[in-house]
Amino acid sequence: METANLALTATPRAGHLGADVRGVDLSAPLPAATIDAIGEMLVDHLVLFFPDQHLDDEQQLAFASQFGEPYVHPLGRGSGRPVRCERIVDDVEHPPYQDKWHTDVSWDFTPPIYGTLRAIDIPSRGGDTIWSSMYAAYESLSPAMQQAIAALSATHTMGAAASFISKAGAEAVARARESFPGAVHPVVATHPVSGRRYLNVNRGFTDSIVGLHGDESRAILGFLTDRATDPNVHVRHSWREGDVALWDERCTQHFAVADYLPERREMGRVAVG
């Protein structure tokens, strides 16, 4: 089934999330009605894919900025650099260590709300990105389990530094660790727009559940974070150059498949809060 608003069409890609959006040129400023329509599509589909856009860095930044203030990653704060599109280059010299399920920068006190990715240089095969619905993950739990975790909170930290050092260098990572030692977020959160509940823990950055012994925390976190790996709650995107993805960071997780070395993969990323 297709839904349309103005010239836009959103064609669902999977059962719980993901839609291909056509009928819009992201390189130009969008009318307010189009921004509102895309926002509604995000509520319905969580992840949107815009094919054949071929944006440059400035255009991607301008597009994302129509949905919130540009988010500056903790590794870049204090550098004095202007806000810009971040280039993510994965190759033999800078391997993609971040191939794990995560929500971007959940270890910040105020993580980004929306993320955008743009395909710049794509390997001949592989390099897909997978998203999972944390609504569906939560709703797959029994009512008893939902009740048991309803009041829990968890600590999120930067985790293993290898991926960050590979991209930003040891000095920037050390500064970020000092300024951002971790953040506490509820294990179950409620989306402010949809009103739906979602699991708010991830393998990449959730360290422990507040108030539980270590073995208790590991057991519960392991069970909950496994929900993101269920293919029944996934949508998988095979990138083509020029593709742009826009997603809600709060109620999704994603996984960058690192199966293309020694080939090179380059993406443009802008997040907003």
pLDDT tens digit string along 89-133?
999 888 876 668 999 999 899 999 999 999 999 999 999 999 999
Whether 254 is catalytic: yes
User: Distance (Å, rounded) from C-alpha 84 to C-alpha 270?
Assistant: 8
Contacts of residue 224, defined as CB under 8 A and 6 or more positions apart, other chains included, come to 149, 187, 199, 201
Q: Is 104 a catalytic residue?
A: yes
Catalytic residue, from 156, 185, 227, 254: name it: 254
CA 182, CA 259: separation in Å to the nearest integer?
Answer: 30
Q: Which residue has the tokens 């496994």?
A: 226
Upstream peptide bond of 262 is cis (omega within 30 degrees of 0): yes
C-alpha–C-alpha distance, residues 105 and 180, integer Å: 10
> Percent of the chain having pLDDT more than 70?
87
Which SS3 state, helix, strand or coil, does residue 55 take?
Answer: coil
102 is catalytic: yes
Choose, from 90, 104, 108, 248, the residue flagged as catalytic.
104
The pTM (predicted TM-score) of the whole model is 0.91
Residue type, 172: A
Kindly name the residue from 16, 45, 102, 185 that is annotated as catalytic: 102
Pick out the chain residues at pLDDT < 50: 1-5
Judge whether 269 and 111 are in contact, CB under 8 Å.
Answer: no
Nearest alpha carbon to residue 245 among 122, 143, 134, 135:
122
Q: How far is CA 71 from CA 8, 82, 114, 145, in A?
A: 27, 11, 9, 34
- Catalytic, 20? Answer no
As a CATH number, domain 3-272 is 3.60.130.10
